[in-house]
Structure 1
């Protein structure tokens, strides 16, 4: 009886997970077809004026390289102004940014901590002190980013098509450092080409992920500034727009690079904040998203997609592991028929591990294969990190559990990989 219950429970949990996320398998086929498409790349000469906003906290080692890559853009220089908000800095970030040619403002606020507050502070300065410049849009970057020479030109092409918010292709400066940095980088590549590309292809809404995006200035003005201050302000921004019917665009030819953590403790703290932030967004917007899916007249699929993005999916896996673990423990301690329960739960746990490992390996393998030339790392490391990628993703399971109960605050990530575009590609 117990063994039948455990078997049925595991089957139902896996089936539930598969039904919810099967559409992302369809996404992969749509993306592969889109990649093979010979559709002519759109270009135009309708140049817009942009303010580039960089929120930086103790980033003196890397911010100069980002500003330099912005200044080297294949785009009219007079149409780009660079603004840096030195947010609670205790180093020379402001001085380095100013010497590199940026317009710099300092912000000291120990109560309102986080990127969202820094962005809002700088946007309000631009809207008042620099209102005469009449910017069409704001680019948002983190200080550790680097831009491909055609980045702004490519984003301008999509902006000229009528998209008011656009995200881009997120590559990595340090893919080959270790399995942690590769895990991050491989997921961001997958997110760009196997989530946002198919969304763009089927005319659904994409999603902003952290950094490397463009937003229309008028949209921000109508919102009353940057009003998103949860721990994952990027996802909150995306969800709030999609609920209102906005479609976020994606340009796969606009490539930027960022630095990934390499130490597990640093990675744990960052992803703990992300997990907590996803719970916050789900708590704040989940009901509205579900209501829109059920009763809405437009954007229903985009709302479903975002619900699956912010829904604590790892908790489905956690629930399965916990239930199996409890039955396994009960068998060991003799509360249940030990031999039968231990055998059934062991098989269930091994089977679940193999299924999830296999699925994640396929995601990593397909992404690595199709993005091979854009991943700057020795070939043997690219292959090795497809095998370690599932283990990186598995570490989200304890993170998801801890985030449920732990109070989490925003903490800065130290960046030390001071590279130019040429250095990354060499």
Structure 2
């Protein structure tokens, strides 16, 4: 039986595109919600009560940047007697602990080369606070990375959202080195998109948001109920989000609470970090996927949020890997002579080029809309803002080989050196 090779290749690639579109069409709806409803979302005006908070910073060899973070916390427009800053200096070999003490933080040093990672450092610190600082009666814990910087209204704005009933709150993530190169801009643009075109519409539609690594607030009751910080997969942030959503918790988003963090600038750093993220997503799906899917169909609460988190942690990577694998098989079939080699190679090349064009166009539009709407908040020259919308899809495409490698490689947590030494005045 003769097979129309061109039609076969086209149909397979078109099917995977439709599958991708079916899974993620709701995020296009999210964008319309953000643009036409979310952007007009009223600010939360409640001012009381003024809760007492502990700020938690897990730091490993961060002497260059941690002082500026603590300084930005000390300069908050929030009562200073209601905020304590804790730093867990985790396996540090530099002067992080002393710099933190000099800046006014309570410093706990931890040395454990067996249990390595941010999650273990957080858990260690939470247990010490529970034992030695229980009398402080903190209502919540802010969690930051050492390279972060806070807008002066950050704590006050987060307090408002916290008081509106959310026990976990995430915030607006900006970048202090967006303008450094296409890699740092790729990260920065995605985080802006994540804040305003994923978390904002989730908040507007009364579904659950998701925390993203740093810049979030957790009610002390949740930490106490969990017995500390119990999430130790490679992406402890998404693990925490998924576990709370499965339990019925809704994570809030405070768009007026702005913080800045440093993005990697070399491809090696970016590769290692995103390889950890990709592997961590697989780990989270392996551990929680069954419960997520079950709650989509049988859950009493957060059913759509469970679907949203399922889409967040798995399908995009797998569909991309599947598409590439199928096309490679077509190429191999041509080389092996199973089909007409010239015809199938031409058809596959054309299909992949077309797919590249479609996906590039979609990602470019996402980046362009985000850049236009967040234009004044992006600290970068105008021409770079425009140029980085062009490179943004290429940055996102680099996730494909990373996702493939993560399927087969053992990945360990590795620290990313932070060297962008800026204060909030520098960022402004």
Q: Same fold (TM over 0.5)?
A: yes
Q: Deviation of residue 335 (structure 1)? A: 3.4
Aligned equivalent of 2:164:
161
CA distance in 2, matches of 1:58, 1:186: 27
Q: Deviation of residue 36 (structure 1)? A: 4.0
1:209 aligned to 2:241? no
Q: Deviation of residue 196 (structure 1)? A: 0.2
Give the alignment of 1:408-419 within 5 angstroms.
408-419=411-422
Post-superposition Cα deviations, 1:224-247, rounded to whole Å, max 9, x if no partner, equal 110000000000000000000000
Aligned equivalent of 1:138:
141
Aligned equivalent of 1:289:
292
Aligned equivalent of 2:333:
330
Aligned equivalent of 1:117:
120
1:200 aligned to 2:238? no
Aligned to 1:166, what secondary structure does the other structure show?
Answer: strand
Q: Deviation of residue 203 (structure 1)? A: 0.2
Aligned equivalent of 1:263:
266
Aligned equivalent of 1:340:
343
Q: Superposition RMSD on alpha carbons, in Å?
A: 1.1
Normalising by structure 2, we get a TM-score of: 0.98
Q: Deviation of residue 106 (structure 1)? A: 0.3
CA contact (8 A) 2:182 2:392 kept: yes
Aligned equivalent of 2:391:
388
Q: Deviation of residue 336 (structure 1)? A: 1.5
Aligned equivalent of 2:100:
97
CA distance in 2, matches of 1:139, 1:38: 24
Q: Deviation of residue 333 (structure 1)? A: 5.0
Post-superposition Cα deviations, 1:232-288, rounded to whole Å, max 9, x if no partner, equal 000000000000000000000000000000010011000000000000000000000
CA distance in 2, matches of 1:277, 1:312: 14
Q: Deviation of residue 317 (structure 1)? A: 1.6
Aligned to 2:348, what secondary structure does the other structure show?
Answer: helix
Which stretches of structure 1, 4 residues or more, deviate above 4 A after TM superposition?
Answer: none
CA contact (8 A) 2:320 2:400 kept: yes
CA distance in 2, matches of 1:231, 1:142: 15
1:223 aligned to 2:226? yes
1:298 aligned to 2:331? no
Give the alignment of 1:10-25 within 5 angstroms.
10-25=13-28
Q: Deviation of residue 43 (structure 1)? A: 3.6
CA contact (8 A) 1:315 1:397 kept: no
Aligned equivalent of 2:372:
369
Aligned equivalent of 1:127:
130
- Decide which of 80, 84, 100 is 2:87's aligned counterpart: 84
Aligned to 2:37, what secondary structure does the other structure show?
Answer: helix
CA contact (8 A) 1:327 1:345 kept: yes
**Alignment CA distance shift 1:140-1:36 (3 Å):** closer
CA distance in 2, matches of 1:298, 1:96: 45
CA distance in 2, matches of 1:230, 1:35: 33
- Decide which of 408, 414, 420 is 2:423's aligned counterpart: 420
CA distance in 1, matches of 2:46, 2:178: 30
CA distance in 2, matches of 1:72, 1:411: 31
Aligned equivalent of 1:316:
319
Aligned length: 425
1:9 aligned to 2:12? yes
Aligned to 1:313, what secondary structure does the other structure show?
Answer: helix
Aligned equivalent of 1:240:
243
CA distance in 1, matches of 2:359, 2:320: 9
CA distance in 2, matches of 1:295, 1:306: 16
CA contact (8 A) 2:149 2:260 kept: yes
Is 329-338 or 233-242 further displaced after alignment?
329-338
1:62 aligned to 2:65? yes
Post-superposition Cα deviations, 1:309-360, rounded to whole Å, max 9, x if no partner, equal 1114122122112211221343245332123212211211011100110011
Aligned to 2:45, what secondary structure does the other structure show?
Answer: coil
Unaligned residue ranges in structure 1 (runs of 5+) = none
Post-superposition Cα deviations, 1:62-84, rounded to whole Å, max 9, x if no partner, equal 00000000000000000000000
1:181 aligned to 2:184? yes
